[in-house]
Amino acid sequence: MATLAPTSGGGADDVERYARARWSVLTEPGDGVAGHAIARWGAAAALDLALSDTSAPDIPELSERDWRRARARWLPRRDDHAYPLELARRVGARLVVPGDEAWPVRLDDLGVHAPPALWVRGRLDALADPVASVALVGARAATAYGVRVAAELSGDLAAGGATVVSGAAVGIDAAAHRACVAVEGRGIAVLAGGVEKSYPAGHADLLAGLSRRGVVVSEVPCGTAPTKWRFLQRNRLIAALADATVVVEAGWRSGSLNTAGHAAALGRPLGAVPGPVTSAASAGCHRILRDYDGRCITSADDVRELVGWDASAQRQGTSTDRTDDTTRILDALSSRSPRDVDELARRSGVEADRVSSLLGLLALDGRAVSDARGWRQGTP
C-alpha cells in the first residue's frame, strides 16, 4: 500500500512499517504495554505475539496480568485496520515511523509511551526540522487579551524561524496557528483524531493553510474520532515535540495545564503569560508560575531566552530582526492614505515578500487594516 511506503529515505522495512500501522489501530494513545513489547521485540514480532494465543512473552517490566489485560483491549480491534489504511491512502496521509528521516526524535523522550507511528499531512521536513520549536497552548474559552498575546508570540517566533506547535483547538491554539500561517512560518498541529478530518470543522481552511509550509499530525489512524482521553494524551505529543512549552492563557482547571505537566515531566522549559490577578482566565497561568516553576513570559524575546534561541538562530543563520522590520513597515503606513505592498516596500526598504508576511501579523492585532485600495495604519 502506497501510504505505508518509506516516506523520506531509509527508515523501517515494509514489515515493520505495516506492523506499526497496525499497532496504531490496535492501541489507544500512550499504551505502555505495547510500548514495552515493541521496544523488546520490534513492532512486527510484538504484533505476532499480541495476536497469537501464546502465553505472555518474557518482558521483565510486565506481569502476565498486564499482558492479559492488554490483549483484551487490543483483540477486539484486530481486524479493524483495512478501513483506516484505505482512508489514509485516499486522503494522501503518510505514515512516519522511528528510523525515518522525518521522524521527530524529540518524541523518543516519551520512552514506552511514545507513539508507534505518526499519520501525517503536509510537509514532512517540518517534523524533523532541527531548528527550535515552541509549543503555544491555552484555553479554548480565550479572552481578547489571550488571543492577541498568542498571535503576537506566535507571529514573532514563526517569522524568526521557530516552529510553532499547538493543538488546533479553538481559542489560544487557533490564534497561534493563524499567526504562524499569516507570517508564512512553520507550524505543527497535533490532532486528537484522524488527520483526514478537521476538528472543529471550522478549522479546515486553517489547517490546510498550515500544512502548506508545516504539518498536521496524529498518532491515531484516519477515521478515528477525537475523544476526551485522546485530547489529554495528545497533549504529551505537543509537549514532546517542542523545546519549550508556553501557556498563554488558562483557567485554574484548563486542559492546557495537562500539557504543562507533560513538559515538566520531560524536563522541558516551561513558561506562562501572566494576566490580571482578577482574571479567572489567567488563574492557571499564575498557578504554573507559582507551582510548576514556570518562567514569566511577556514577549517573544522571553521565549527565545527560555529555549536559548539566540544560539539556535546563529547556528541556523536565521534573522531575528522581525521587530525592526515591523517598525519600518509601521512607519511606512499612513493612517489615511491606503498604500499597496510595493509602495510600502519602497518606503520601508523591506523586500515585498516580507512586507506581505508582516502585514498579515500586523493585521491580526489591528495595527494594520486593508481594503480594496491597499493598507493603512489601524487602531489596535
Burial of residue 277 (CB within 10 Å: 0-12, 13-18, 19+) is exposed
Q: What per-residue confidence (pLDDT) applies to 190?
A: 97
Q: What per-residue confidence (pLDDT) applies to 320?
A: 41
Cα 341 from Cα 21, distance rounded (Å): 47
Instruction: Give per-residue pLDDT as tens, 194-210.
Output: 999 988 889 999 999 99
| Residues with pLDDT less than 70, the chain | 1-12, 56, 310-324, 380
Q: What per-residue confidence (pLDDT) applies to 50?
A: 92
Q: What per-residue confidence (pLDDT) applies to 359?
A: 86
Q: What per-residue confidence (pLDDT) applies to 360?
A: 80
Q: What per-residue confidence (pLDDT) applies to 11?
A: 56
Q: What per-residue confidence (pLDDT) applies to 347?
A: 84
Q: Identify whether the C-beta of residue 230 lies closer than 8 Å to the C-beta of residue 203.
A: no
Q: What per-residue confidence (pLDDT) applies to 353?
A: 80
Cα 141 from Cα 147, distance rounded (Å): 10
Q: Can you give the pTM of this predicted structure?
A: 0.82
Contacts of 72 (CB under 8 A, 6+ apart): none
Q: What per-residue confidence (pLDDT) applies to 328?
A: 83
Q: What per-residue confidence (pLDDT) applies to 162?
A: 93
